[in-house]
Amino acid sequence: MYLDNAATSLRPQNVIDRWEEISALGTANLHRAVHHIAAEATEAYENARKAVAEFVHAPEAEEIIFTSGATHSLNLAAFGIGEAFISEGDEIVVSEAEHHSNIVPWQMLCSRKGASIKVLPVDDAGRLRIELLPGMLNGRTRLVCVSHISNVLGLVNPIPEIAVICKRAGVLLLVDGAQGIVHQAVDVQALGCDFYAFSGHKMYGAPGTGVLWGRRELLEKMPPMFGGGEMIETVKWDASTWAPIPRKFEAGTQNISGTPCLIPAIEILKQMPHGNEVKAFVYEELQKIDGLRLFGATADLSLKVPVFSFYVERAHHEDLALIMDKMGIALRSGQMCAEPLMDRFGVSGMLRASFAPYNTMHEAEYFLSSLRKAISMLR
């Protein structure tokens, strides 16, 4: 039973079929040749850009940059933002609940530029302390980086509210949407952010695919992170010039087979029901287990997605994960790429069960009874 959907989702048949179709029949590189197979491959790739733009309500398809995943998107953003907008002494605010992918690129940028990071804390339940944000922004703050939904806490952050605070202070807002894109209908314009990054493989698409959306006027000012084929306008020995967005950011051969699979992935995502019944059941039942501390608890379950991270007293998370694996249940254990959040809660790691709409009530019941059994084996 697969309950590690926040790490990567299962891939539906329509996505696998499309990948096989392109890989078997459509071998050609993009944007380069005049032959018809190349034209078809390019069309499939560019149609995916249009589909993603429509899906996230981007004003223009050219604002969609294809990457290999959220990590690549965030690094690309950090490089370009750093070169275009960050100087020595500037500040970047990053939330305490971020995945390492939305921490480390900003640290790298800060050490390159002589800038610094300020941490927006979470409260004991894991909610962002938004009330502190206005006081953290000053004349040197250039950017706020926050996830739409934390991969540990499963809480939906109030992005529109954060965007209003950022806009008032003249600060850019970047949203890590790696989990948000899976569980929320994303409208980047309604959210009010300046950048939104996500991966294809968590939203039922192919591994090695991802997206960075950014506002045109910002992307146009940002230099590319990688140089090479297809990202240039002209190449001369004294200097080269860049192609317009999005190609400026897509150097070299792209994911010819994977990226077009974002179209069937989006189709599936739109059809997926929201498993509120399973979510409410698991949420209630987990809290009845003796010595279990659930992180990301909230009175309003509409603000929580079915990502449950917890710590069990006198039962190590790795031991529990191994026993649960023997019982046929795949869970995530450890720091969940969020070491600062583990430090905040004073734990060395957690156990995480993350559900997708294809997980049934029967599976939820089996998970809970198995967890109770596994805990009793260790105590």
Smallest gap, in angstroms, from Cβ of residue 148 to ligand PLP? 8
Residue 252 burial by CB count (10 A; 0-12/13-18/19+): exposed, middle or buried?
exposed
Nearer of residues 199 and 257 to ligand PLP, judged by Cβ? 199
Smallest gap, in angstroms, from Cβ of residue 99 to ligand PLP? 4
Nearer of residues 199 and 254 to ligand PLP, judged by Cβ? 199
Q: Is residue 337 among the annotated active site residues?
A: yes
Binding ligand PLP by CB under 6 A: which of 9, 151, 333, 354? 151
* CA angle at 96 for the pair 206 and 185, rounded to the nearest 5°: 40
Nearer of residues 141 and 199 to ligand PLP, judged by Cβ? 199
> CA-CA distance, 78 to 98, in Å (whole number)?
15
When asked if residue 354 is in the footprint of ligand PLP (CB under 6 A), the reply is: no
Q: Which stretch binds ligand PLP (CB under 6 A): 97-105, 153-161, 231-239, 317-325?
A: 97-105
What x-and-dash track marks residues 184-223 binding ligand PLP by CB under 6 A? ---------------x------------------------
10 Å Cβ neighbour count for 98?
25
When asked if residue 157 is in the footprint of ligand PLP (CB under 6 A), the reply is: no
Q: Where are the alpha helices (DSSP H) in the chain?
A: 13-25, 36-55, 70-85, 104-113, 133-136, 159-169, 180-183, 188-191, 216-221, 262-271, 276-286, 317-326, 339-345, 361-378
> CA-CA distance, 257 to 17, in Å (whole number)?
11
Tokens 């922004």 locate to 137
Tokens 């006081």 locate to 135
Binding ligand PLP by CB under 6 A: which of 38, 94, 159, 178? 178
In 3D space, the residue among 26, 52, 51, 49 whose CA is nearest the CA of residue 39 turns out to be: 26
When asked if residue 344 is in the footprint of ligand PLP (CB under 6 A), the reply is: no
The residues binding ligand PLP (CB under 6 A) are 7, 69-71, 99, 101-102, 147, 151, 176, 178-179, 199, 337
